A and B are shown apart, each in its own frame.
Chain A
Amino acid sequence: MRRLILRRLGIGVVLVVVASAVTFVLIALVPGNAAQTILGASATPAQVAQLARELGLDRPLWAQYASWLGHALRGDLGTSLVSPQPVTATLDADLSVTLPLTIGAVGTSLVVGATLGTLAAVRGGAVARLIDLAAMAGLALPSFWIGLVLMELVAVKLRWLPATGFVALGASPLEWLRSLILPIATLAAGGVAAVARQTRDSVDDVLRQEFVTALRADGIPARQVLLGHTLRNAAIPVIAVSGTQFVAALGGAVVIENVFALPGLGSTVVQAATDHDLPLIMGAAVYFCVLVVIASLLVDVAYSLINPKVRLT
């Protein structure tokens, strides 16, 4: 187990370095540069060149990246070009929105999706067709469309939940939950559909296996065959793809936070992209990568716990 974790952490570090380097190179392609952005369009070329030198932008690209990486390793991701805030301060604050949002969405996807998928596989018939249809809609409709429609129906028409905005957990736990319900439901829609399909195929697959036949022939109650044996086996491939679910939820959060005006990583990254705030975008890319690495590590650990065939390695 310890070897597994160490190995995944090693891969994760490599991944974060590679991804940040790719981002860095992409940013270097920008026509104009950070100095131009800071000073605005009215600056003279001499002023820009002066600031570029101060910022070290005249050095070779690898040297710039090395110095960025050196600072990053000490927890310094630079300062935003737009606000005087350190990048890490902005992004840390964002995490308190994005983390509950994505964790809630992935959790909902897994619980609801697995339940529906199992129901479809076991019941068959009309129930299965209905679930198939819903899954198809969930996968085919853009998530932000689902979010906009939910907002109109649940928040504007029925006034059950707030339409937009975010209330900090510390300010009011109840309002915090209410402000997150719609975004989580929206973000989970695609995931529920994907997990339901995966679970259904997986349960179908296990139900055809010889050991299930043997258990039924032995007179083991249907409940026990399903809960004790079938689902445990069917969960293995579902857990294997739940890492993808988390990556997808992080990507989806970028759009959904904008729909619901939530002040999270996604809103920040879109704003930064619009403002050409490159240090902030760079920092956000690193935060996202680190989250992905942590999530896939947790998935691997869960996977090895449930699948005895990998538990030893």
Chain B
Amino acid sequence: MSENVDYSGFYARWYRPRVSRFWWLRRRSYLLFVLRELSSVFVAWFVVFLLLLVRAVSQGEREYQRFLDLSATPWMLALNVVALFFVVFHTITWFNLAPQAIVVRLRGRRVPGRWILILHYLAWAVLSAITAWVILG
């Protein structure tokens, strides 16, 4: 127990600097962090977009065609390109963090982080291949 007790009669004023509203601009790593967090919004957008696609498909040919036309408009295209960039950024940053959080021990030694990373990319590649085969094949 260590309480800093009263300072009456003695002059001690601690200075507490205020954290700037733009704290996230102070360092490159902070900026990348905030962008990473922001990327979740675009992940959410992709989910919504996917749900809209599913809904359009379930409502028949005409709705589906309307959906495709909407998707082809310039602003929707632009939005989805930006979203794609952010989702890839999201994936890569989170993959990079995974080895730190996932500690696997095999026969008494810790599996090196890069194997955890490789497994993540491998899983991504496999799932993407399966999805591509389902949609295109």
Whether chain B is bound by chain A comes out as: no
